[in-house]
Amino acid sequence: MKIVDLSEKFYKQYFCCLEEWSNDIKEAGNHKEIWFNKMKEQGLRVKIAVEDKVACGMIQYVPAEHSTIEAKNLYFITCIWVHGHKQGIGNYQKKGTGKALLKAAEDDVRSLNKKGIAAWGISYPFWMKASWYKKQGYQKVDKNGVAVLMWKPFTNDAIPPRWIKEKKRPVKNEDKVTVTSFINGWCPVQNMVHERAKRASNKFGELVDFQEINTFEKKVFCDWGISDALFIDGKRIRTGPPPSYKKIHKLIRKRVNKIKSN
């Protein structure tokens, strides 16, 4: 297994997070590709783990100034993923690939003369575990719900990062069902939720006001303090794990029926 820089050879796999076999991921559209083409001009770095010519893992990290955290002279890991499904290329986890990807990213960021690297993890024992980063020498510096902000300083004068937290929420429309989808583009799973919500909203015509808020621009993100999220009539809908199209449609229909009955 070796770690290489992302090249065009692996674009297709990278844009779908190595899950070409997944029909669900195909619902995500091309948002990740659009995000990549814009973010690479702002310092995005991507490493790919390759074993037997197969892309089996990936890590992407961006300058903190273009991320969802408040920090200077740091890079921020938005995602690290080693393919762990039986489908497609199979399970490549538990082989040290994640550690190798993380080390490659750290070495790369050090070579850029940055003062440290940050990452986010979940406080629960599943995907992107904060506890895994702790084992790799990272320290907890902030928390936002179940999202834990971890970091590893490279210099003594490095300043700890902080989450940029939610500032406001969408306002409910009294005459229609309001579906508000925040989309940044970096995550195919969240992009998939966005596309499902848009498709479900369109089924109800003028009874639903679908609002798309693209948070790629840092100013837009900072205005809200929300990167990726789905709201129905001002109520946040849990998107991890991603709700099915059927579930989103059902939630919208419930609100539509309430308006019809009034």
Residue 241, C-beta contacts closer than 8 angstroms, at least 6 positions apart: none
CA 139 → CA 116, 132, 142, 244, distances in Å? 12, 11, 9, 35
Q: Tell whether the model's pLDDT for residue 9 goes beyond 90.
A: yes
Amino acid at site 53: K
- Tokens linked to 157: 């004068």
Q: 3-class SS at 43? A: coil
Residue 45, C-beta contacts closer than 8 angstroms, at least 6 positions apart: 5, 60, 61, 62, 75, 105, 108, 109
Q: Across the chain, what does the average pLDDT equal?
A: 96
Three-class SS string for 54-98? EEEEEEEEEEHHHCCEECCCEEEEEEEEECCCCCCCCCCCCCCHH
Q: What is the model's pLDDT at position 127?
A: 73
pLDDT, tens digit, for every residue of 178-191?
Answer: 999 999 999 999 99
pLDDT, tens digit, for every residue of 87-141?
Answer: 999 999 999 999 999 999 999 999 999 999 999 999 887 778 999 999 999 999 9
Integer Cα distance of 163 and 48 in angstroms? 27
The CATH classification number of 177-261 equals 3.40.30.10
pLDDT, tens digit, for every residue of 25-48?
Answer: 999 999 999 999 999 999 999 999
Q: Please state the pTM of the whole predicted model.
A: 0.95
Residue 190, C-beta contacts closer than 8 angstroms, at least 6 positions apart: 183, 184, 228, 239, 242
Q: What is the model's pLDDT at position 247?
A: 98
pLDDT, tens digit, for every residue of 44-71?
Answer: 999 999 999 999 999 999 999 999 999 9
Integer Cα distance of 195 and 191 in angstroms? 6
Q: What is the model's pLDDT at position 262?
A: 72
Integer Cα distance of 58 and 54 in angstroms? 12
Q: What is the model's pLDDT at position 172?
A: 86
Check residue 172 and report its DSSP letter: P
Residue scoring higher pLDDT (125 or 7): 7
Integer Cα distance of 79 and 17 in angstroms? 10
Which CATH fold topology does 2-163 show?
A: Aminopeptidase (3.40.630)
Q: What is the model's pLDDT at position 219?
A: 96
Could you give the residue range(s) of every CATH 3.40.630.30 domain in the chain? 2-163
Q: What is the model's pLDDT at position 86?
A: 94
State the average pLDDT over residues 161-187: 95
CA 87 → CA 50, 83, 96, 141, distances in Å? 18, 10, 20, 36
Could you give the residue range(s) of every CATH 3.40.30.10 domain in the chain? 177-261
Q: Tell whether the model's pLDDT for residue 260 goes beyond 90.
A: no
Integer Cα distance of 197 and 20 in angstroms? 22
State the average pLDDT over residues 155-162: 98
Q: What is the model's pLDDT at position 174?
A: 82
Residue 113, C-beta contacts closer than 8 angstroms, at least 6 positions apart: none
